[in-house]
Every structure is written in C-alpha cells, then in structure tokens.
Amino acid sequence: MRKFHSLLAIFAATSATLVSFTSAAAEVNIYSARKEALIKPVLEKFTEETGIEVNLLTGKADALLARLNSEGKNTPADLFLTVDAGALHRAVQADAFQAVSSDEINSAVPSHFRSTDNLWFGLSLRARPIFYSPERVNPDELESYLSLADDKWSDRICIRSSNNLYNQSLVAALIEHHGAEKTEEWAEDFVANFARKPVGGDRDQIKGVAFGVCDIAVANTYYFGHMLNSDDAEESAAAEKVKIFWPAQDKQGAHVNVSGIGITKHAKNVDEAQKLIEFLVSEESQKWYAQANYEYPVREGVEWSETLQQWGDFKQDDIEMDILGENNGDAVRLMNRAGWR
C-alpha cells in the first residue's frame, strides 16, 4: 500500500512536470515589423485552432533585428517577420535565421518567393506599379519604369525617398534586369522629373496625384487598397481620383515584393514556429491576407479579394527575392549618386 501511494506521488509529480512543460512549450514568440492590426487577427485564429499562444512584439525592422542580435542565445523570439525582401536579406546576413525543412511550406510558397536555402518564406505580395491621374495622363503614354525617365514627365512624378526599402528593392530589380550603368542613367533622368523633393509615405504619393501636385506616382498597391476602403472620406475620395497602370507587361512585368518570415537561429519553440508558418501559408490564411490587407497571396490558386480583382490581372516580375537583398547596397549607392534623396 505504501508502495502504491509512492507510485501515485511519483506519477502526480511527473504529470505536473509534463503539464508545466506542455504549457510552456505551447506558445510562440514573434518579433514583427508588420503593424499589429495587420497581423494579429490571423494570429488569433491560429491560437483558436491550435491552442498555441502567440506573443507578438512589433517595431521597426532594423530595431527588431538589432535587438535580436544583441539578445543572441537569450532571445525569446522564435520568429522574425518583416515587410521587404531587402530586410529579410539583412537578417540572413546577420545569421538570424535557421533553415526550415517543410514540404508543406515549400509546396505553398513558390521558389522565387522564398530564400534559396529555406531560411525565410514569403507570406504576402505587394506590387509597386505606376499610379496616374486619368484627367491629366493618357495611359497609352505609359510603358515601363524606365519610360518614367522621359522628358515628358518633367516635374510630374511623386515618389518616396531613397531610404525607403520598397524603392531600394525596385532599383535593385532594375539593376538585375538592365545592369547598373543603364539603371544609373535612368535614375538621374528619373530624379530630374520629380515634381517635388521626396516626402512622406506611399499614401502621400497617391494623394499627390489626386490633388494635382504630380501626375504620376510609384507606390505599393496595398496602401491604395486601404485608401479606397478607408473610413476617412477625404482619403477614399483621393484614391478614387487615381488609377493603376501595370508597367513592363511586355517585358519582365510589374515589380513585386514580399512580407516574409523565418525561424530565428536561437528559437526555443521551433515546432510551434513551423506550425505557425504552415498556418500562415495555408489557403485560409492567404485568402484572409488578400481580403483584409489588400495584398496578393504568395500561394497560387487563392482567390483574390474584390478590390484586387477590380485592378485586373497583371504580369509579375518573377525575379528571385534574394536578388533584391543582394543588390540592395548597389541600389542605395546608385540612388545617392543620382541625387535621389
């Protein structure tokens, strides 16, 4: 009898330990450069379906990466999520990720939307086309990014500054397609066509077109989607005055970039982290991205939202996302030499 009670005590202690371990393991921690409102709903859905709690810390990509590096092996972060291929490449250079082996993820994410060595994976796409005023621009005048260097666009273009990663990635892609010399010549003439010194974010460039500051702008589509569907009457009215032109459709296609995610090198909850990535690239989550964020799914065959469908189908540049990061330094130096500030 005394032996039986001893066994019960051991079993109870072991069970308590297992419960404690399971509870501690059933969580995953994310450092995210994506704003909370744009990611939290799908994370809550993941918790609801799996029981795995998600702890989210948001901030600027560079600041989060610096924190990840300084924490080293003591970091609580299991995943690092950011919003540009260049930022993902910086994380790779900082040795912040570990490789992930998952047939489920690889089958969902096309090879050019993930790193070549499976250190990170694209979650959503944002295209960076040309926006124009239909009152002042005939779309037949538009062609490609390179055509924006033509004299006819003098004092007519709005775009963000050269320190914006989205612009850096666009120029990095142009370097890959056209070479550094031709791209620098283009950049010099392109900068000469600016209607104003670069200021503000992508929404400000679209508003610049709407309010007559400029006639065309280069910006990401998901900002435009949020503007069109905004509760702010002024913002939605401004977006209604602007149209999308898909550039380079007879060449490489419109530039696209990714938000992406990777498991950190010193992750403590690797299995849970992988499950979350698998969930984020599932058909259900990919459809939510398109509906709620006006971003394009990385997964093929997922239905686009009504807003995306209204913009029409288009040819995407299928450049490897790794190249955008690899060419980033050259792009920044080129933009600075061209006077793009």
CB under 8 Å to 109, separation ≥6 — which residues?
A: 121, 122, 281, 298, 299
CB contact at 8 A, 286 and 297: yes
Residue 222 annotated in ligand binding = yes
The 3-class secondary structure across the chain, one letter per residue, is CHHHHHHHHHHHHHHHHHHHHHHHHCEEEEEECCCHHHHHHHHHHHHHHHCCEEEEEECCHHHHHHHHHHHHHHCCCCEEEECCHHHHHHHHHCCCECCCCCHHHHHHCCHHHECCCCCCEEEEEEECCEEECCCCCCHHHCCCCHHHHCHHHCCCEECCCCCCHHHHHHHHHHHHHHCHHHHHHHHHHHHHCECCCCCCCHHHHHHHHHCCCCCEEECCHHHHHHHHCCCCHHHHHHHHCCEEECCCCCCCCECEEEEEEEEECCCCCHHHHHHHHHHHCCHHHHHHHHHHHCCEECCCCCCCCHHHHHCCCCCECCCCHHHHHHCHHHHHHHHHHCCCC
- Measure the CA–CA gap between 76 and 299, rounded to whole angstroms: 29
Q: Which residue has the tokens 């070549």?
A: 116
Residue 223 annotated in ligand binding = yes
Could you give the count of Cα atoms lying within 13 Å of 124 in the half-sphere of its Cβ?
A: 27
- Measure the CA–CA gap between 198 and 196, rounded to whole angstroms: 6
Phi, psi of 26 (to 5 degrees): -80, 55
Residues annotated in the binding site for Fe cation, as ranges? 222-223
Residues annotated in the binding site, as ranges? 222-223
